Structure 1
Amino acid sequence: MSAIFCHFNFNVLDLKRSVEFYDKALGLREARRVEGDGFTLVYLTDGVTPFELELTYLFDRKERYDLGEDEFHLAMHVKDYEAAHALHEKMGCICFENTEMGLYFIEDPDGYWIEILPET
């Protein structure tokens, strides 16, 4: 048996704000949307790989999600690390930086961390 990655899910409180954040910060675009009874799923794509980020919006959810100890994250490569860093610094979303390792993390509107790495 073998499995292939498909998507990863983040639950969000403000779908419009999250979609705008991921577009501006990482260039992720909406691939498709699923409307259900009490929820909306938006699948974001980088336009290069088949992997998607699923944003789940539950209509009745008002309180912030418990993200545990913030020990999990999504990682992304960027072509122009310096330009990405400058953009994220301007957006005020850099939450941790490790210059020795050459990486940093940004935080989305719901508190999820995304690791930013230079393209290899």
Structure 2
Amino acid sequence: MKFKFNHNNFNVLDLEKSIAFYEEALGLKVVNEFKAPDGSFILAYMGDGKTKHRLELTWLRDRKEAYNLGDNEFHLAFDVDDMDAAHELHKKMGCICFENPAMGIYFINDPDGYWIEIIPGGE
């Protein structure tokens, strides 16, 4: 029996705002979408165009209050080939929430407060 990663999920309050954020901040694109027949939820799957891994954004029609992210100790991580350009973009967007220069990394947060780690690497 073999398992492999497929996707991670973040629940969001404003799907359009979240999709726009992930497109601008990380270059992700919606690759698949599912809308409940009764309109109660929408799943938008975003991908980087390079890997099979997806970020599933879940919007629930009846959810109005912010999600409790606890201490926000969980996160996604993205590597990038141009750390300086990425940092400048995220600084301009105002979404950098924590920096660790000693490790050469930083974190951004999305419109719902989820943290995303940015690390050097890429292709």
The runs of 5 or more residues in structure 2 that have no matched partner are none
Aligned to 2:82: 80
Find the partner of 2:45 among 32, 43, 46: 43
Q: Residue 68 of structure 1: CA displacement?
A: 1.3
Find the partner of 2:114 among 102, 112, 115: 112
Matches within 5 A, 1:1-120: 1-36=1-36, 37=38, 38-119=40-121
Amino acid at match of 2:109: E
The runs of 4+ residues in structure 1 deviating greater than 2 Å are none
Per-residue Cα deviation, 1:14-46 (whole angstroms, up to 9, x for no partner): 000000000000000000100013000000000
**Number of residue pairs the alignment of both structures matches:** 120
What TM-score, normalized to structure 2?
0.96
Identity %: 60
- 1:16 partner SS: helix
- 2:84 partner SS: helix
| Superposed CA RMSD | 0.7
What TM-score, normalized to structure 1?
0.98
